């Protein structure tokens, strides 16, 4: 697409209900007109969400293991099999974490770990059964598509059978972890042992066909180009056209501290984060919700994100270990999140993973 096409014409096209192409999304992402993008994204958000409120939820990210044989270059959290620093969380400790979450008003846990070769499918089924038996009202938002693909490969079973067994054991919804950038050139550089783009998407496709719901994510600001970010958006938009199974999109910036890419990749800042969020809101015309990423940006930027296309401030995140392993640690209390939402003119409302209001 010629770069001479004015950015405003693309914003007008989006505002008029036109779907942006990859070339057009790339042109917006390569522009520096942050104010115009913010205005367009905020308008698109308010058109989809005219409510007087904006949402958040309370949950906890429980990493049941940090042992992973994938060796992703962007990860500072995982440890290889056999490492003395590797762990598998004891059930008593896991149950205690869930009890604390419930006591703080949470009704969900985010359950994620690594690709641990010592754990089999029966182990995961027993894990889910145990949680469901003790906490029947807590939704288990667990195991990203890359993990589930690994379970399938390791067990020698079709993805559908694995998902059916996990669902029957208590799995409630699937987070979008492990997507990074859904372009195989990039995946070959940062996570060559992990599921391919097609394999990641196929897990979501099968889960959605079973009536399941989940989120889509994007971690950006490492070895991808801006166009490849938009190609990622195009892939999840296409699947959403097909299944309508994604409840939300969450994007965050790569944090290089402690990773194999530290010192080799320049950390992107707030400008690039907010611009990417705004373009995502305009491009993902079939996604009902976009979350802000205060966990990587801080609460002030998370608050700004509510005017750059996000309609949700994300989770209180009682516990978060993966980003924290890079040295980035932001913590907030519930009242601070509610105050941040009020600060941009909205009423704070608490919701669950399915975006149903629970307050």
Question: Residue 153 in contact with residue 199, Cβ under 8 Å?
Answer: no
Please state the rounded mean pLDDT for residues 93-109.
Answer: 91
Per-residue pLDDT for 3 more than 70?
Answer: no
2: confidence class by pLDDT, cuts 50, 70, 90:
very low
Q: What is the pLDDT of residue 320?
A: 52
Q: Describe the strand order of the beta sheet including 246-253 as a list of residue ranges.
A: 214-220, 246-253, 290-291, 312-315, 53-57, 347-350
Per-residue pLDDT for 293 more than 80?
Answer: yes
Identify each DSSP E strand in the chain by its residue range: 53-57, 60-63, 108-112, 139-142, 214-220, 246-253, 290-291, 312-315, 347-350
Q: What is the pLDDT of residue 327?
A: 47
Q: What is the pLDDT of residue 221?
A: 95
Query: Which residue segments constitute the domains of the chain, with CATH numbers given?
Result: 32-350 (3.20.20.70)
Per-residue pLDDT for 65 more than 80?
Answer: yes
Count of all residues that appear for the chain in the document: 359
Please state the rounded mean pLDDT for residues 36-50.
Answer: 98
In sequence order, which residues have a C-beta less than 8 Å from that of residue 188 and are 6 or more positions away? none
Per-residue pLDDT for 104 more than 50?
Answer: yes
Q: What is the pLDDT of residue 255?
A: 87
Q: Give dist(CA 303, CA 122) in Å, integer.
A: 42
Cα-to-chain-centroid distance, residue 259: 20
Q: What is the pLDDT of residue 77?
A: 84
Instruction: Say whether 101 sits in a helix, a strand or coil.
Output: helix
Q: Where is pLDDT greater, at 46 or 298?
A: 46
Please state the rounded mean pLDDT for residues 258-274.
Answer: 91
Please state the rounded mean pLDDT for residues 15-35.
Answer: 96
Average pLDDT, the chain: 93
Per-residue pLDDT for 324 more than 90?
Answer: no
Q: Give dist(CA 359, CA 357) in Å, integer.
A: 6
User: Strand pairing partners for 291?
Assistant: 250, 312
> Residue 91 has which token pair?
């059930």
Please give the share of the chain, as a percent, with pLDDT higher than 70. Answer: 96
Q: What is the pLDDT of residue 328?
A: 43
In order of 92, 168, 178, 183, 185, the CA distances from 259 in angstroms are 31, 37, 16, 21, 20
Q: pLDDT for 231-240, tens place per residue? A: 999 999 999 9
Of the listed ranges 56-60, 125-129, 141-145, the one predicted with least confidence? 56-60
Q: Where is pLDDT greater, at 306 or 1?
A: 306
Q: pLDDT for 195-242, tens place per residue? A: 999 999 999 999 999 999 999 999 999 999 999 999 999 999 999 999
Q: Give dist(CA 179, CA 219) in Å, integer.
A: 7
Please state the rounded mean pLDDT for residues 295-304.
Answer: 90
């Amino acid at each position: 697409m010629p770069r001479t096409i004015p950015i405003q014409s693309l914003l007008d096209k989006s505002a008029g209900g036109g779907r942006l192409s990859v070339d057009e999304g790339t042109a917006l992402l390569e522009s520096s007109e942050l104010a115009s993008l913010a205005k367009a994204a905020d308008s698109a958000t308010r058109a989809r969400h005219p409510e007087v409120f904006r949402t958040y939820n309370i949950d906890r990210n429980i990493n049941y293991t940090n042992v992973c044989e994938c060796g992703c270059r962007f990860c500072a959290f995982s440890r290889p099999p056999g490492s003395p620093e590797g762990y598998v969380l004891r059930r008593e400790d896991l149950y205690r974490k869930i009890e604390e979450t419930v006591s703080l008003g949470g009704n969900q846990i985010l359950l994620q770990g690594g690709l641990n070769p010592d754990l089999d499918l029966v182990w995961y089924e027993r894990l889910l059964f145990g949680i469901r038996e003790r906490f029947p009202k807590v939704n288990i938002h667990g195991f990203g598509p890359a993990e589930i693909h690994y379970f399938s490969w390791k067990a020698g079973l079709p993805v559908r059978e694995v998902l059916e067994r996990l669902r029957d054991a208590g799995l409630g919804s699937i987070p979008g972890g492990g997507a990074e950038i859904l372009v195989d050139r990039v995946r070959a550089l940062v996570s060559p042992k992990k599921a391919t783009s097609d394999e990641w998407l196929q897990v979501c496709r099968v889960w959605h066909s079973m009536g399941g719901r989940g989120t889509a994510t994007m971690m950006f600001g490492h070895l991808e180009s801006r166009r490849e970010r938009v190609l990622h958006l195009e892939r999840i938009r296409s699947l959403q056209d097909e299944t309508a199974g994604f409840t939300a999109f969450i994007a965050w910036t790569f944090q290089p501290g402690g990773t194999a890419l530290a010192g080799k990749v320049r950390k992107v800042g707030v400008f690039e984060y907010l611009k990417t969020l705004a373009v995502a809101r305009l491009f993902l015309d079939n996604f009902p919700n976009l979350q802000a990423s205060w966990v990587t940006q801080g609460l002030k930027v998370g608050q700004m994100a509510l005017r750059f296309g996000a309609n949700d401030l994300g989770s209180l995140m009682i516990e978060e270990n993966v980003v924290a392993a890079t040295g980035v640690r932001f913590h907030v209390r519930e009242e601070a999140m509610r105050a941040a939402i009020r600060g941009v003119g909205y009423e704070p409302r608490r919701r669950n993973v399915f975006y149903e209001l629970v307050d």
